[in-house]
Structures are given as C-alpha cells and as structure tokens.
Amino acid sequence: MASVKGSKQHQMMVVPYRPFYRFGVFFLCLLLLGGFCWSTYEFGLKKGLATKVQVITERDSLKLRLQQRDVEVLILSQQVADLKVGEQIDTQATEEVRSTVEELQGEIAELSEEIRFYKGVMLPNVEEQGLRIERWDMKQTNEPNTINFSLLLTQVVEKHQYVQGGVEIIIVGNTQEGERSLTLQELRDDKQNSIRFRFRYFQNIDGELRVPKGFEPRQVMVIAKSTGGNNQRLEKKFDWQLDGD
C-alpha cells in the first residue's frame, strides 16, 4: 500500500475539561512557597535571636572579666605602691638605725673618754703628777676674727687639795711683716694678761679671743702657773684648729 507523503501528524489526547485545576496547582505551589519562606524566616529569626543572645552573653562575660582584670590591676598597683612605700620605710628605718648606732657609738666614746679622765683625776697612776693642761678647744663665732675657747685644767695627785694660779695664752702666727706672737692682753677686751684659776680636781675655763685683721694664726701656746708652796709652770702647744674645720 502506498504511503501518503505530507506534513507530520501529531498524536492527540483528549482530556477532560477542568478550568480550576491549573489555578489549584498554582495556588498550591504558591502556598508551598509561602510556607517555605515563612519556615526559612522563622528559622533565621530563631537562629539570629540565639546568636544575638549568645553574643550578648559573651559580651557581658567579657565585660565582667574586664572589670575583674581592672580590679586585679588596681590591687596589684596598690601592692606595688605599698611595696615601694615599704621599701622607702625600710630604707629610712635602716638609715635611722645606722644614724642612731653612730650617735650611740659617739656617746660611748665620749663616756669612755670621760671615764678615763675621771679615773685619771681621782685614781692617778702616772708618775708625772700635779697640775696638767688636759684639753684646748676652739670654735668660730658669728663675728669675724672672733673665737670661743675652752681650756680644761686638771690636778693629778694622791691627795687632792686646792690649787690656784693663772693661765697665759699666746697665739703665734704670721703678718705681712713676718712672724708675730700675740699675748692674752692683746687678744681680750678686758686687757688681762692672765686668767685666774682655783680648783681641787679640775676646772674648765671658757672665754673669747679676738684676732686682729691681717693676722694668720698658726699655733696656740698655753702657759699655766700655780702659786703656793708647790708651785708649777706648765707649757703646752696646740695647732690652730677650729672645731668643724
């Protein structure tokens, strides 16, 4: 049988006519899509809220830890300050103790010297007994060319009786014209040529001397003369040395 040539024929299918079917399918797809979007939104919202809560919790925890660290830093700073103050106090206390020890050592030395002195006066065990020039001290005053002096005389004997006499003071020094010696009469306002003494054990003689301008003192000569049945003449030289120089 001969075939008929021509355009291709498509198969046809007869379906029932349902006008609301496509609309229902579209609505269903739209409903599913809306449900998916809503579920995604709810999931994102819950996830975001959970993340926000976690971030806020971590932030609060960090703030609390930061506050704790600030408190620790403040405590450590206070401890460091206390240690520095303690170190300063220890240093000051050590210095005060050292100064006190030095003062006590000085006082002990002075007391030992006084004990030695009183023993020498009260319990003499030296061969050379009698009147003695024990000590000579000088100190600068506020007035220029004026000094205060202190002379200590003692009597070293087995049996102490009163001794009396006079002390002469001569200062040896230099001037533009050469060496010169100044007597007590030239050094004091009262123009006395000697200072009287009378004691049984010891006597401390204090006074003031005025050195002329242009005179450079170098040495002090102290001459003590006792009067009476057992008269003596003593002479002792001291370098010109002011206390504090």
Structure tokens at 146: 């004026």
Q: Does residue 4 sit within a domain? A: no
Number of helices followed by number of strands (H, E) in the chain: 2, 8
Q: In this predicted model, what pLDDT tens digit does every residue of 131-153 receive, in sequence order?
A: 889 899 999 998 888 999 999 99
User: Which residues of the chain fall below pLDDT 70?
Assistant: 1-23, 113-128, 244-245
Distance (Å, whole) CA 209 – CA 212: 10
Q: Does residue 13 sit within a domain? A: no
- Out of 97, 123, 149, a domain closes at 123
- Cβ atoms 160, 200 nearer than 8 A: yes
Domain with 65 in it: 22-123
Radius of gyration of the chain (CA): 58
- Cβ atoms 219, 162 nearer than 8 A: no
Q: Does residue 7 sit within a domain? A: no
Q: How many domains does the chain have?
A: 2
Residues 56 and 107 in one domain: yes
Q: In this predicted model, what pLDDT tens digit does every residue of 39-78 receive, in sequence order?
A: 787 777 777 777 777 778 878 888 888 888 888 888 888 8
Structure tokens at 119: 């023993």
Model pTM greater than 0.85?
no
